[in-house]
Amino acid sequence: MLDVKRSTAEHLARLLRDHRIAVGTRRGRRALGCFRQAVLVLRWFIDNTRLCQLASDNGLSASTAYRYLNEGLTVLAAGAPDLATALERAKAAGLTHLNLDGTVIRTDRVAAPGPNGADLWWSGKHKHHGGNVQVISTPDGWPIWISRVHPGREHDTTCARHHGLIDALNRIAAELDIPTLVDLGYENAGDGFRHLHKKPAGGELTEVQQTYNKVIRGIHGVCERANSLLKTTFKALRRWPCSSAIHL
């Protein structure tokens, strides 16, 4: 039993069916039908079921189970809105502001040397290996856009710039007066971002700055719901088994 509506599995099955038609898969050439493949993918996402277990339960080889999972991830990713579409929808919805926050998903991928010999996937902030994911959410903390994974050693601002978020969010703030609330990890990202005032070295914040920080904390704190929803709903995102066969 999966904690998901049957309609969700049916929706993914339709996506898989359309994909098979597009690539010219002939009838009877697959070990699993589209619905059973959809359930396999959802079991991995929601329960973080091991691939060897999924293969055994469905009478598949391990390599076929990996291939079916990757195919499911591919069709889901293809249907996700790109950044421009997500921002257009935010504009149409008349949102007062957006939230941006990064989260690091744990991973066992450790054999990728980075600059100066440092491990590319080691997060110095979190003290574990992981991949950085940038999440844009609505004022109530509902995620509307999620980036591809970037190595965990990179700072949030670096990752946001890599994905084109800095320019895009500054532009929507200037043109539509929709600012983006962030934490101090995005300090100096531009005028379109709102973050806390940092306490000066050897000094104190003014009363106005302290009040501003309280307001920002209260409003932006809701964005933590977006990251929590992703990791609570999908157990697979609590720790990413980043083998060479799977890429997020």
- Express each pLDDT in 38-89 by its tens digit: 999 999 999 989 999 999 999 999 999 999 999 999 999 998 999 999 999 9
Quick one: pLDDT band at residue 241, thresholds 50, 70, 90? low
Number of Cβ atoms within 10 Å of the Cβ of 54: 21
What is the share, in percent, of the chain residues with pLDDT greater than 70? Answer: 95
Alpha helices in the chain (DSSP H): 6-23, 34-47, 51-57, 62-79, 83-92, 156-162, 165-176, 207-220, 224-233
Query: pLDDT tens, 168-201?
Result: 999 999 999 999 999 988 988 999 999 999 988 8
Which residues are within 8 A (CB) of 234 and not within 5 positions of it... i.e. 6 or more apart?
45, 46
State whether 96 and 63 are in the same domain: no
Q: Pairing relation of β-strands 150-151 and 128-137?
A: antiparallel
**From CA 241, how far away is CA 248, in angstroms rounded?**
10
Q: Which of 33, 62, 79 is the last residue of a domain?
A: 79
What's the domain range around 216? 83-240
Domain end: 79, 97, 127, which one? 79
What gap in Å lies between CA 164 and CA 102, rounded to an integer? 14
Count the domains in the chain.
2
Q: What single-letter amino acid sits at 62?
A: A
192 and 70 part of one domain: no
The pLDDT score that the predictor gives to residue 248 is 44
> Are 120 and 25 contained in the same domain?
no
Summarize pLDDT for 1-24 with one digit per residue, the tens: 788 899 999 999 999 999 999 999
Yes or no: say if 89 and 115 are a contact pair by the CB < 8 Å rule: no
Distant-in-sequence, close-in-space partners of 108: CB < 8 Å, separation ≥ 6? 129, 239, 240, 241, 242
Is 135 found in the same domain as 18?
no
User: Both 198 and 100 in a single domain?
Assistant: yes
